[in-house]
Amino acid sequence: MTRVVIDAAAAAEILTGSLKGRALARLLPQDAEGWVPEHFYAEGLSVVRRQTVIQGVLSEVKATDIVRRLAEWHLHRASLDSLVIPAWAYRHNMTAGDALYVVLAQRLSAAFLTTDDKLVDTPTFPASIRVLRLPDVQ
């Protein structure tokens, strides 16, 4: 099994079935075991809400289906309590939410699936984490 921490933005792309989401899904190893910190679900709801209510990109029907699939997606969840203190070390370069994903990936020696190039390019992003992200397209 290859453990992969999946961030909410990448998950939303995958669940919407967008072109980007299909490309991200292909980056997942065949034997991927998905992992997320508990706050992943709240972030996922926020992404879908933004795309539905604020941006109007998703219909209510499509958004409701995405939320259902988000809730049913078989992912391993990590409790936040043991991640909070190590995440604090990244406070100068990462949001608290992003740092929780990073710490989880470190703890599990997992790959990290993300769409957040700014995050993985921060000076404190651990070089030991294998990042699964789409190549830059100019």
The predicted-structure confidence for 99-109, as pLDDT tens digits, reads as follows 999 999 999 99
Instruction: Choose between 91 and 136: higher pLDDT.
Output: 91
Which residues partner with 33 through β-bridges? 3
Averaged pLDDT for residues 34-44: 96
Cα 75 to its chain centre, rounded Å, is 12
Of 20, 45, 34, 18, the C-alpha closest to 73 is 34
> Is residue 37 classed as helix, strand or coil in its secondary structure?
strand
pLDDT at 138: 42
> Is 119 within 8 Å of 125 (Cβ atoms)?
yes
Q: What is the pTM of this model?
A: 0.93
pLDDT band for position 137 (cuts 50, 70, 90) = low
Averaged pLDDT for residues 59-85: 96
Averaged pLDDT for residues 70-87: 97
pLDDT at 135: 83
Asked whether residue 23 carries a pLDDT value surpassing 80, the answer given is: yes
Structural domains in the chain, sorted by start? 2-132 (3.40.50.1010)
Asked whether residue 80 carries a pLDDT value surpassing 50, the answer given is: yes
- Determine the angle formed by the axes of helices 60-72 and 8-16, rounding to 10 degrees: 120
Q: What is the DSSP letter of 116?
A: -
Dump the DSSP string for 42-57. Answer: HHHHHHHHIIIIIS--
Q: How high is the mean pLDDT of the chain? A: 94
